[in-house]
Chain A
Amino acid sequence: MRFSSAIVLLLCLLAGTSAAAAGSAPVQLASSTPPVLYEGTTLAPVRVVADWLGAATIYDPATGKLDVSGLGHTVNMRIGVDSAWVDGQPVTLTVPPVVHHGSTLVPIRFLANAFGASVTYDATQRIVLLQISEREAALKVPPTSAATIAELRAGISDAKLKAATYSKGGTYTVGVFEEPKSNNIVNAMGTGATTWTNAFLLPQYSTLYGNTAPRFDYAPVLASGDPGPITQEGDLFTAVVPLRKDMHWSDGTRFTAADVVFTYMSILAVGPDQLSGYWEYAINKDLLVKVEALDDFTVKFYLTAKPGLAQWQYGLLQVVILPKHHWEPVFKQALESQDPVKTLYAFNDANPVTIGGFISGRWEKGAFFEIKRDPTSNSPYEAIFFHEQGLVIRNTKTGYSYQSENLAGSVVDTVNSGPFVDNVMYRVYLDQNAAYLALQKGEVDYVLNPSGMSKGILGMLEKHPDIAIVQNATNGFRFLGFNCDRYPMNIKAFRQAIATVTDRDWLAENVLQGVIEPIASVVPPGNGFWHNPDAKVWGAGMDEYARLEAAVKILKDAGFTWSKEPEVVPARGGYAVVEGEGLRGPDGRLIPQLTILSPTQGYDPLRYTFALHLEGWIRTLGINVRTRPSDFSLIVERQNTRDYDMIISGYSLGLYPSHLPAFFHSQSGANRSNYVNPTYDSVIEAFLAADEINAARQYAFAAQEILAEDVPYVVLYVNPLTEGYRRDRVRYQFTELLDGIQGSYGMPGSVYMLE
């Protein structure tokens, strides 16, 4: 093939034919490779044209497959082949796509026409003019090739993977360890909530707002924009939420304000406190008075008080919305029955009406459960563009778009909303080893394991050429908790001294050899938005001896005395620690024997190991302490009755740090460490009252600083989560995110299958 490279064309593109756009000046597109003329056909770099059109390009050099999709159209081509497909229909090209000087060139007129754009060639000025219709212009998304980013992030450059191409469709098979508890979303949001129920049902439903992975930005889902300001109207506070006009339920019924009103009012009628679970902590019946439809796509919330973030953005606005026409008779029957909750939860929703892009498939009890792609959903045409700050959402089919108020910087990441698979098959493996054998055998593409894989299994899977391993931080922490009501744990210096001798980094590195990730903050660093990186860490950067000396100083300054003071003495070639004896408090009282309640070695060897080392470190301070390995349920009971000295326990957390008020506010029922600090209480009350997310963040930062100073908990570590998937079968758009792939239940909505 010989190109007429003498003709250098300037590629100019004019957007819009409408009155407003017609007058706009043409935009010249930058391209490293100029367009070329071959046998009377102009060929241009596919990425330049596709990016301008707002379409995504996927090119696989190994097979020569070239797919361009967006604006509701798909074009499939192959390098050197003159037949192509436009929206599934075969067409013949006058000149096939070629690779020229490292760039992929395609017939520009063919590609532009396929996307509804027209091409004019000005021979005198040697300019190609691309024009796009008003309708298509409305659908156009920012010039970012979504699949290219996803491709790079997934490491597709791996030699073995070059042969692989994405495909639309296919079955994504996930190994799970349990079945769902119910096929009924109302039950799943209540007592039936488990990882497995969520994996089954959450991909089928949507909320008004959500936290968008991988960065977990707060963004509208069924709402069409940010919630309106909260204003006072008489005794009540109100806020207006605009809804999307382009959404419909899986049975074709349009999603309207009636569905939203129905959901909130029905849950209020039954009683969120009766329904328990998510209903109870998302819908506060003392706060929400009613929800009203202003028109088909606007709802108004009436509240008794001005809500904080937890109750508003992260509470009320993140409730699963139910289709009125499907659930109304069920609620009616429930409310007429003797026990509405029981009746409601017992409802067998075998033929659900959904909105999330998936719909329940077969559930063979004890063996497998399945969700199928809802073929009517417009979700696969949606892309989310993460800017340095804020995000943009565009739906190329319906024309919907949203842009964060605080949008700033360039696009740093793009995620395409799916589903791109035909169905997701969840196979139940009651034994983890069997599940990972199935992964190795290729029976499943991914194992959904909330605890991540063990070191032994990791060793086995690492050797498998087709299994990719990913590691992510989890959102939670393990800690040493003090009973701040008991002597001497009620003395701040005592807690600070123990925090100072706790060398979590040394233990993580030398004893546990990287199995854990040591952290010191009550908001894990993985939760980037809420974590305060400047909160104090006791003994940071010190070695064992410096830690001991620092701890002794803290105790001495607070008036503690010893019968024999601990010290660091020079020993052969270094130093040695001489354990202290007989520590007495500032009031002269001998420190009694203390107990650390810890999980048993069988239940959690990591926490047990920490307990043993903590015991050793605390002993050096001259404190008589012993570890008592106990059954988990006993630990829970002792924590609930506040009957302990020190305890080693752990929590899993949500993205919004609701645990800051829950665990540490003096009036909170879940404050199991009896921690009382009026300053902290006022800061956390301000945090709860803040209705703006950045203000709340500042209070959360202040709260973390107070806790770091007061040390009701010595935070020890977080378990990193290690997972594996078949890289020869599936491709995720991102794998780096808090709580890993399992945190999004295997990411059924955005996963692609490889051919």
Chain B
Amino acid sequence: MLRYLGHRLLQILVLLFVFITLTYFILQAMPGDFTSIYASNPQMTPEMIANLQARFGLNESVWVQYVRFLRNIVTGDLGVSFSEYPRPVWDIIKERLPRTFVLFFSANIISFYIGFWLGKWSAWYKGRAADKVLVTGSISLITAFYPLVAFMALWVFSYHLGWLPLNNFVDPILWSNAPLSSMQVFGYIIYAAVVTTALLILVSLLLRKKGVAGAKSRWIPPIVLGLALLSAVALFQRSGLLIYVFDILYHLLLPLFVLTFIRIGSSLLLTRDAVLAVTQEDYVLAARARGLAPAVIRNRYLARNAIHPVVTSLALSLGESFSGGVVTETLFSWPGIGLTLLRASLGGDYPLAVGAFIITGIFLLLGHVAADIATACLDPRLRDSIGR
């Protein structure tokens, strides 16, 4: 297993190098550079632009810039942004990554969870009215024009009904005297989520190891989850942060809802297809013949075997969670990595663009490794082949 992981990590490094190089040169190939924004300023003489280019090292050849850039990367320095000179690239990414992560990661998890259950259910009742509604709905969601859906949601829920905030992730009036920055509070939210998840995994593993099964154990994970959440709330309350956490969560609702809603379709259809593919297998027929309860057949025999492509897809999209999405970030004024990437690329801010690409690239590649490991854990045949 370790050898396999090592091998995969090596692959990632090589891929990352190729990725960085390609990204760097594609960005450099774009006409103009960062100083192009000054071209329409009559007060900027060419000498002034040349001074600025010298400051950003743009007066050197692309190769010299590339080598210097690579040298910095190896030493863990992503450089400084041109557009926010002299702010370090890592500082900008560090500020925006938690926001992106909280929104997109949650949306992915929730949409997969709901999509998986609905897909399983839809496949089981294939051909019935409910199945037809779900399939039609899913296809509609996949083909829907996302910016329009998002804007309609904003218009209905925020502008017209006034239930949810119109945009952004905090309320300025509440936050104008907040003791911490929103970035720190995002950090705490992620921290609480990670601890809760770790706890849940630990409990599940323990339950499995101790051989506790059946109806008795079914309630343990939800109880653990409830307790973990309650303690988080208590902790936030004690530190006086609860109101700020709630404010962020309140602002999160609409983008999360829209993003989840739009993504459910694909995971539903994926699960449905995967379940349908295994429905015809002999072992399912045998299970039915043995007179097992439909829920058991559905959950143990079908879902477990159909989960393979779903988990792969989930792991990959979790990796993608770190790259954000331009449309969501723009419409809901949720500034994250997606928009940073777009603006830096278009504005010729190479260090920031490449830095953001590297970070998202790393997460994407890690997502691939996670997908491999997850499928290996779920499928003993693969586990054996990896173990060797």
Q: Does B48 contact A281, Cβ atoms closer than 8 Å?
A: yes
Quick check: B51 and A361 within 8 Å, CB to CB? Answer: no
B36 near A438 with CB under 8 A, answer no
CB pair B159 A361 closer than 8 Å: no
Contact B42 A365, beta carbon cutoff 8 Å: no
A interface footprint on B73-103 (CB within 8 Å = 1, 0 otherwise): 0000000100111110000000110010000
Are A428 and B45 also in contact (CB < 8 A) when A361-B176, A367-B169 are?
A: no
Q: Give chain B interface residues in 321-336, CB to chain A under 8 Å.
A: 329-335
| Stretch from A298-306, A320-328, A407-415, A429-437 that touches the partner | A429-437
| Complexed CA–CA distance, A669 and B40 (Å) | 13
Whether B85 contacts A425 by the Cβ 8 Å rule is no
B51 contacts A433, C-beta separation under 8 Å: no
Among B150-158, B206-214, B292-300, the one that faces the other chain is B150-158
CB-defined interface of A396-429 with B at 8 Å, one 1/0 digit per residue? 0000000000000000000000000000010111
**Residues from chain A with Cβ under 8 Å of B87 in the complex:** 346
Chain B 37-54: CB-based contact to A (< 8 A → 1; otherwise 0): 001111111111001100
* List of A residues within 8 angstroms of B169 by Cβ: 366-367
A431 and B333 in contact, given A364-B172, A636-B39, A637-B32 (Cβ under 8 angstroms): yes
Which of A192, A280, A430, A663 touches B42 (beta carbons < 8 Å)?
Answer: A663
| C-alpha gap A437/B31 in the complex (Å) | 36
A668 at the A/B interface (Cβ < 8 Å)?
Answer: yes
Give, as a whole number of angstroms, the nearest-CB distance from B32 to chain A.
4
B84 in complex: contacting residue of A192, A428, A663, CB < 8 Å = A192
What separation, in Å, do the CA atoms of A614 and B24 have in the docked complex?
39
- Contact between A191 and B52, CB atoms less than 8 A apart: yes
* CB closest chain-B residue, reference A348: B87
Q: Does B182 contact A (CB under 8 A)?
A: yes
Residues B166 and A438 in contact, CB atoms below 8 Å apart: yes
B40 touches A651 (CB 8 A): yes
CA A191 to CA B40, docked complex, whole Å: 15
CB-based contact A364/B32 at 8 Å: no
- CB of A530 to closest CB in B, whole Å: 13
CB pair A276 B32 closer than 8 Å: no
Known: A364-B172, A441-B166, A640-B39. A631 touches B31 (CB 8 A): yes
Partner of B172, one of A427, A433, A653: A427
A368-B333 in contact (CB<8A): no
Contact B52 A276 (CB under 8 A): yes
B333 to A: closest C-beta gap in Å:
4
Question: Is B183 an interface residue, CB under 8 A from the partner?
Answer: yes
For the complex, is B30 an interface residue (Cβ under 8 Å from A)?
Answer: yes
> Smallest CB-CB separation from A181: which chain B residue?
B84
A650 to B48, CA, bound (A): 20
Q: Does B181 contact A (CB under 8 A)?
A: yes
Query: Is B172 within 8 A of A425, CB to CB?
Result: yes
Q: Closest CB-CB distance, A648 to chain B, in whole Å?
A: 13
- The 8 Å CB contact of A437, one of B154, B170, B173, is B154
A7 to B172, CA, bound (A): 59
Q: Which chain B positions have C-beta within 8 A of A133?
A: none
Task: With CB as the reference atom, state the residue of chain B lying closest to A660.
Answer: B42
Q: Give the contacting residue for A658; candidates B36, B42, B48; CB below 8 A.
A: B42
A639 at the binding interface (Cβ < 8 Å): yes
Asked if A633 is an interface residue, CB under 8 A from chain B, the answer is: yes
CB nearest to B82 among chain A residues: A191
A contact residues around B175 at 8 Å (CB): 362, 364, 367-368
Residues of B within 8 A of A431 (CB): 167, 330-333
Contacts of B333 in A (CB 8 A): 428-431, 434
Would B155 and A280 count as touching, CB distance under 8 A? no
Q: Are A634 and B176 in contact (CB under 8 A)?
A: no
Picked from B32, B151, B166, B178, the residue with its CB within 8 Å of the CB of A443 is B166
Contacts of B44 in A (CB 8 A): 281, 670
Question: A670 contacts B172, CB within 8 Å?
Answer: no
In the assembled complex, B276 has its CB within 8 A of some CB on chain A: no
Q: Are A273 and B32 in contact (CB under 8 A)?
A: no
Asked whether B331 lies within 8 Å of A440 as measured between CB atoms, the reply is no
Inter-chain contact total with CB atoms closer than 8 Å: 156
Does more than half of chain A's interface fall in helix, strand or loop, or is it mixed?
A: mixed
B137 to chain A, nearest CB (A): 27
Residue B339, interface by CB 8 Å: yes
Tell me how far the C-beta of A421 lies from the nearest C-beta in chain B, rounded to whole angstroms: 14
Q: Give min CB distance, A363 to chain B, whole Å.
A: 9
Interface positions of A from 540 to 561, Cβ below 8 Å from B: none
Interface flags for A658-690 (1: CB within 8 Å of B; 0: not) read 110011000011100000000000000000000
Contacts of B159 in A (CB 8 A): 437, 440-441
Provide the A171-191 mask, 1 if CB < 8 A to any CB of B, else 0: 001000000011000010001
In the bound complex, CA of A611 to CA of B331 (Å)? 32
Contact A670 B46 (CB under 8 A): yes
Counting CB contacts under 8 A, is A370 at the interface? yes
B168 contacts chain A at the CB level, 8 A cutoff: yes
Q: Mark A262-305, 1 if CB is under 8 A from B, else 0.
A: 00000000000110100011000000000000000000000000
Residues of B near A633 (CB, < 8 A) are 30-32, 36
- Which of A181, A663, A670: most chain B CB closer than 10 A? A670
Instruction: Give the docked Cα–Cα distance between A596 and B90 (Å).
Output: 43
Residues from chain B with a CB closer than 8 A to the CB of A364 are 170, 172, 175, 178, 181-182
Please state if A367 and B182 are interface contacts (CB–CB under 8 Å).
yes
Residues of B within 8 A of A670 (CB): 42, 44-46
The contact of B43 among A192, A281, A365, A441, by CB within 8 Å, is A281
B151 touches A433 (CB 8 A): yes
Instruction: Write out, one digit per residue, whether chain B residues 306-348 have a CB within 8 A of any chain A CB (1) or not (0).
Output: 0000000000000000000000011111110001000000000
CB-contacts of B342-361 with A (<8 A): none
The answer to whether A437 and B181 touch across the interface, beta carbons within 8 angstroms, is no
Q: Which residues of B contact A192 (CB under 8 A)?
A: 84-85
Question: What distance in Å separates the Cβ of A170 from its nearest Cβ neighbour in chain B?
Answer: 13
Q: Which of B36, B84, B181 meets A636, CB within 8 Å?
A: B36
Contact indicator B172/A345 (Cβ below 8 Å): no
**Residue with the highest number of chain B CB atoms closer than 10 Å, among A633, A640, A662:** A633
Instruction: Determine if A654 is an interface residue (Cβ-Cβ < 8 Å).
Output: yes
How long is the Cα–Cα vector from A182 to B172 in the complex, in angstroms? Answer: 19
Which residues 21-68 in B have Cβ within 8 Å of A in the complex? 30-32, 36, 39-48, 51-52, 55
Using CB atoms, name the residue of chain A closest to B339: A430
The residue among B55, B167, B329 with the most chain A CB atoms within 10 A of its own CB is B167
A427 — which chain B residues lie within 8 A by C-beta?
168, 172
> Contacting A182 at CB < 8 Å: which of B84, B173, B181?
B84
Determine whether A341 belongs to the interface, using a CB cutoff of 8 Å to chain B: yes
Partner of A429 from the list B40, B83, B167, B339 (CB cut-off 8 Å) is: B167
Instruction: Give bound CA distance, A433 to B147, whole Å.
Output: 12
Task: Name which of A187, A367, A428, A441 has the most chain B CB atoms within 10 A of its CB.
Answer: A367
Min CB–CB distance B295 → chain A (angstroms): 45
Say whether B42 contacts A651, CB under 8 Å. yes
Q: Kindly state whether residue A342 has any CB partner on chain B within 8 Å.
A: yes
B170 CB to nearest A CB, Å:
5
Tell me, in angstroms, the Cα distance from A273 to B55 when the chains sit together. Answer: 10
| A437-B166 contact, Cβ under 8 Å, with A366-B99, A639-B39 | yes
A662 touches B45 (CB 8 A): yes
- The 0/1 profile, CB within 8 Å of B marked 1, for residues 159-176 of chain A is 000000000000001000
Any B CB within 8 A of the CB of A89: no
Nearest 4 interchain pairs by C-beta: A669-B46, A633-B32, A659-B42, A368-B172
What are 18 sample pairs from A and B whose C-beta atoms fall under 8 A apart? A173-B172, A276-B51, A280-B48, A280-B51, A342-B86, A365-B95, A366-B95, A368-B175, A433-B151, A434-B154, A441-B158, A636-B32, A637-B36, A654-B42, A658-B42, A662-B45, A663-B42, A670-B42
Residues of B within 8 A of A (CB): 30-32, 36, 39-48, 51-52, 55, 80, 83-87, 95-96, 99, 151, 154-155, 158-159, 162, 166-170, 172-173, 175-178, 181-183, 329-335, 339
Known contacts A366-B95, A633-B30, A634-B32, then 12 further A-B pairs from the complex at CB < 8 Å, ordered by chain A residue:
A181-B83, A181-B85, A276-B52, A280-B51, A366-B169, A370-B172, A434-B166, A437-B154, A636-B31, A637-B36, A654-B42, A669-B47
